[in-house]
Structure 1
Amino acid sequence: MTTISRLLVLFSLVLASTVTFADDVVQRGQYLATAGDCAACHTARNGQPFAGGRVVPTPFGAIPAPNLTPDRDTGLGAWSADDFYRAMHSGEGHDGTSLYPAFPFTSYTKVTRADTDAIFAYLKTLPAVRRANTDDTLRWPYSMRSLMGPWRTLYFSEGEFQPDAGRSAAWNRGAYLVQGLGHCNECHARRNSFGAMVDDPFLAGGIVPVQNWYAPDLSMGAGGGLAGWTEADVVALLKTGRSLKGAAIGPMAEVVMRSTQHLSDGDLAAMATYLKSLPARDPPRMRESGADARDLALKGRTVYAEQCADCHAADGRGKGEAYPPLDGNGSVTDPTGINAIRIVLTGGFAPATAANPRPYSMPPFSQKLSDDDAAAVVTYIRQAWSNKAPSVSPNDVRAYRSVPGG
């Protein structure tokens, strides 16, 4: 088989949905819209699906997500399939204006024309809802849409996903979903001062803007945020919200609830195959722990024995899928300590999914633990057993005790 022939075969496999209704354009579009988690932004709380009204917070101000129903005046009723593709692929609105990257066209540009057409066909079947879009509240100078021209030149690479002929069909399907529709890098990457993703290394983790959670590095190799995970662990987390390695907490819980639990087993396995191929990471730079940090960890061991060991076990290995392990858990050892602090303070709530409709949850300890005690127990679990993460301080706890984005 020639290289060109192999590319064509791979490309056809990437385009083909693994679900049984692949030949029905509207149903395939519904599946793809779910894979893209479109409803998460474009549906207001208790609102009509896809009718907009939900405000997307950014460090530069708030941007309301628009109405995607086929209402002619306030939704997509006057749009063509070409208009919709241009928005997804090029980040340009119906009137030719540059869209702000709160809409992740920086990832959706990789979605194929066939798939954007299917999503558009599905959206056109929704009940039309008349709901006018409100204006954004971006601060000056970010409110100057003309600045998007230079931003796009510097930080936006337009282009559909191109299959790798040297990789399997499963790897290509997984790469297509993770890089494109899944737009995983929009959370799992650092951002620079202009709000652009830092994607080298790719999917290396970062703080979710405004929501103030740390989205972990997704490499399963040595030094990665998912080091020690198997592909089955990844599939289990995306399908059920839990695995033997940890549970989906914070913003990821909503992603699992709204999107990934509804994907086919084949697509979830493909995503895991792709993540498995991400390169190993350099060991994190550890700062020296002073006497205060060592004393804090010793105090934390006592707090852990009193408050945590019954569920998570004295050795930090947890108890099955009900109580996740803390030893080797990326949410415990993330570079910032944000996730561990927030879970101790506000609790940990895994999503209810079809495969796990009544998940175990961790209660909040904000009323039981002082800032010193919370810092002590978080420092302890970040440095106990095989964990080797930096300590946190009582000031760190105070900073996140009332932080928005919970």
Structure 2
Amino acid sequence: MFVRWLIFLVVLLGGLAAGVYGLNVAGEVPVPAGAAPSDGTPEQVARGEYLVRVGNCMTCHTARGGTPWAGGRGIATPFGTVFAGNLTPDPDTGLGRWSAEHFWRAMHHGRSYDGRLLYPAFPYPDMSRVTREDSDAIYFYLRTLPPVRQPATPHALDFPYGTQAALAVWRALFFRPGGFEPDASRSAEWNRGAYLVRGLGHCAACHGGRNPFGATPEGGLSLAGGLIPMRNWYAPALNSPEQAGVADWPVEHIVALLRDGVSPRGSTLGPMADVVYRSLQHWHDDDLHAVALFLKSLPPSRAQAGGGKPPDPAVRELGAKVYERHCADCHGANGEGWRLASGKPAIPPLAGNRVVTMDPPANLIRVIVHGGFLPATAGNPRPFGMPPFGLVLNDAEIAALASHLRTAWGAQAGAVAPQDVARFRGGAGD
């Protein structure tokens, strides 16, 4: 409540001091009068079809059980629910009247066809770094979709977040349209990886974390990890060896993780498994290699190491019993897991597993409660899955099991309380 009224106060002060709408037009080129829809070449359309896979655009713009690309999916945020728009070329409810210039303005400036400011649930702070050439290719591909008449679902945002004035102030504080600036001291491949991670891949939208106002720190460049409010998972830091840093991984292991969802060094679960399934497995190998090279180069940070108070002996004993009864048959008596002859982890080891030891323990709790499922990919077509235990174990037993895992086999990550389980077990689906 305090934050809500604080934002409202900022809105009023911003409106009086500078004119909130005027704060959002710096550097923006108006759409030319008479700008009309247009179609691209077959090469541009084919490139656009690939790029929407890279950006994983269809996932948000397709309601569960709905027509692909027709919008209507609700995206939960701490400020209310934002509903994705219709990207089919329907002239009345979709992009049918949009020109390439209108689409570029939405991608680069976060402004809709009629000039309204868009909500950053559409990650235009990242898309602003996408080149005009790539923006046009995406637009031309979307023009080839079958038109679907589906009116937009009104956003369900709390006051004052649903006002254009509040959004204008947010943008004035946290958004500056820009482009990708290559690093001349780096190779073309490294810069390609940086462009994909910082732009169309919009990795910072999850892995960058959010401040109390919903903005990604460091101007949207942070990859230091953070909770995903709409999913109740934790997107681990991509620059931390204790979380998801890969500075010491061979490039081919990083590529395998991104493409297949599993590699000799780890596997993907939860929202990241969904990203692999819907997007990353379809990327070109040279783009995957470029991203791997970029991620490997991130300067490591050790600010996110796990730690905390060790569990009481009684909790440790309960956790060990729960593990022996429900987990040891698959994960091994000593948390060693099980590997295929190829070296890929069929059942991941728990000893030394970063999902187990990282803070906060959100992902560990969610895997225990909801199960763990790797994506089915060409490189791993029949992945093993872990059943959910949320209806078998109560919060105290789950906390004891998690505490056991975080302090067994040399780990020193600290105890998990039943309150932690209650906090992280609920929320949106996987």
Structure 1 length as normaliser, TM-score?
Answer: 0.89
Which of these residues, 185, 200, 204, is aligned with residue 185 of structure 1?
204
Q: 1:66-145 alignment to 2 at 5 Å?
A: 66-145=85-164
1:333-372 equivalences under 5 Å are 333-372=357-396
1:383–1:337 Cα change, 3 Å: same
Confirm whether residue 52 of structure 1 aligns to residue 89 of structure 2: no
Contact kept? 2:223, 2:237, Cα under 8 Å: yes
Identity rate, percent:
50
Q: CA distance change for structure 1 residues 386 and 267 in 2, over 3 Å: closer, same or farther?
A: farther
How far the C-alpha of 1:308 sits from its partner, in A, is 1.6
Q: Is 1:28 the equivalent of 2:28?
A: no
Among 392, 395, 402, which residue is 1:378 paired with?
Answer: 402
* Structure 1 residues 252 and 286: alpha-carbon distance in aligned structure 2, compared to 1, 3 A threshold: closer
Aligned equivalents of 1:383 and 1:147: distance in 2?
A: 46
Amino acid at match of 1:349: F
The answer for the alignment partner of 2:301 in structure 1 is: 281
Contact between 1:235 and 1:269, CA under 8 Å: does it hold in 2?
yes
Paired with 2:351 and 2:176, the residues of 1 have a C-alpha distance of: 39
Corresponding residue pairs, total: 383
Q: CA deviation at 1:262?
A: 0.3
List alignment gaps of at least 5 residues for structure 1: 1-21
- Residue pair 2:193, 2:287 contacting (<8 A) in 1 also: yes
SS at match of 2:364: helix
- More displaced, 378-387 or 339-348? 378-387
Residue among 244, 247, 257 paired with 2:267? 247
Letter in 2 for 1:230: P
Q: Name the CA shift for 1:398/1:257 in 2 (closer, same or farther; >3 Å).
A: same
Alignment partners' CA distance in 1, 2:197 and 2:242: 20
Q: What is aligned with 2:21?
A: none
Amino acid of the structure 1 residue aligned with 2:175: F
Determine the structure 1 residue equivalent to 2:232: 212
Residue of structure 2 equivalent to 1:10: none
| Superposition deviation, residue 327 in structure 1 | 2.6
Q: What 5-or-longer segments of structure 2 have no aligned partner?
A: 1-40, 340-344
Shift of residue 213 of structure 1? 0.3
Does 1:314 pair with 2:338?
A: no
Asked whether the 8 Å contact 1:190–1:199 carries over to 2, the reply is no
Please list the CA deviations of residues 25-62 of structure 1 after superposition, one character each: whole Å capped at 9, or x if unmatched: 11100000110000010111222221112111111111
Of the structure 1 ranges 126-135 and 22-31, higher mean CA displacement relative to structure 2 is found in 22-31
One-letter code of the match for 2:379? A
Give the one of 228, 244, 250 matched to 1:225: 244
User: 1:186/1:281 Cα in 2 relative to 1: closer, same or farther (>3 Å)?
Assistant: same
- Residue 28 of structure 2 corresponds to none
Tell me the C-alpha RMSD between the 2 structures. 2.0
Alpha-carbon distance in structure 2 between the residues aligned to 1:285 and 1:273: 24
User: 2-side partners of 1:170 and 1:294: how far apart?
Assistant: 52
User: What is the distance in 2 between the residues matched to 1:107 and 1:34?
Assistant: 16
Indicate if the aligned counterparts of 1:26 and 1:121 stay in contact, CA closer than 8 A: yes
Partner Cα distance (1:35, 1:238) in 2: 12
AA of the residue aligned to 2:261: G
Report what 2:13 is aligned to: none
Amino acid of the structure 2 residue aligned with 1:254 = D
Q: 1:243 to 1:223 in 2, by over 3 A?
A: same
Q: CA deviation at 1:23?
A: 8.3
The 1:222/1:399 distance shift into structure 2, 3 A limit, reads closer
TM-score (norm 2): 0.84
Q: Which moved more, 1:138-147 or 1:297-306?
A: 297-306
AA aligned opposite 1:106: P
Counterparts of 1:345 and 1:78, CA distance in 2: 46
Q: Which of 180, 186, 197 in structure 2 is aligned with 1:167?
A: 186
8 Å contact from structure 1 (residues 346, 366) kept in 2: yes
Q: Secondary structure at the match of 1:181?
A: coil
The one-letter amino acid of 1:97's match is R
Q: Is the 8 A contact 1:26 1:122 kept in 2?
A: yes
Out of 281, 285, 288, the position equivalent to 1:265 is 285
Q: Distance in 2 between matches of 1:339 and 1:28?
A: 35
Moved more, 229-238 or 154-163: 229-238
Superposed displacement of residue 283, structure 1: 4.4
CA contact (8 A) 1:30 1:122 kept: yes
How many angstroms apart in 1 are the aligned matches of 2:365 and 2:306? 19
Question: Quick one: structure 1 residues 165 and 259, their matched pair in 2 at CA, closer, same or farther if it must change by over 3 Å?
Answer: same
Quote the Cα distance in structure 2 between the aligned partners of 1:398 and 1:336.
13
Which of 222-231 and 391-400 deviates more?
Answer: 222-231
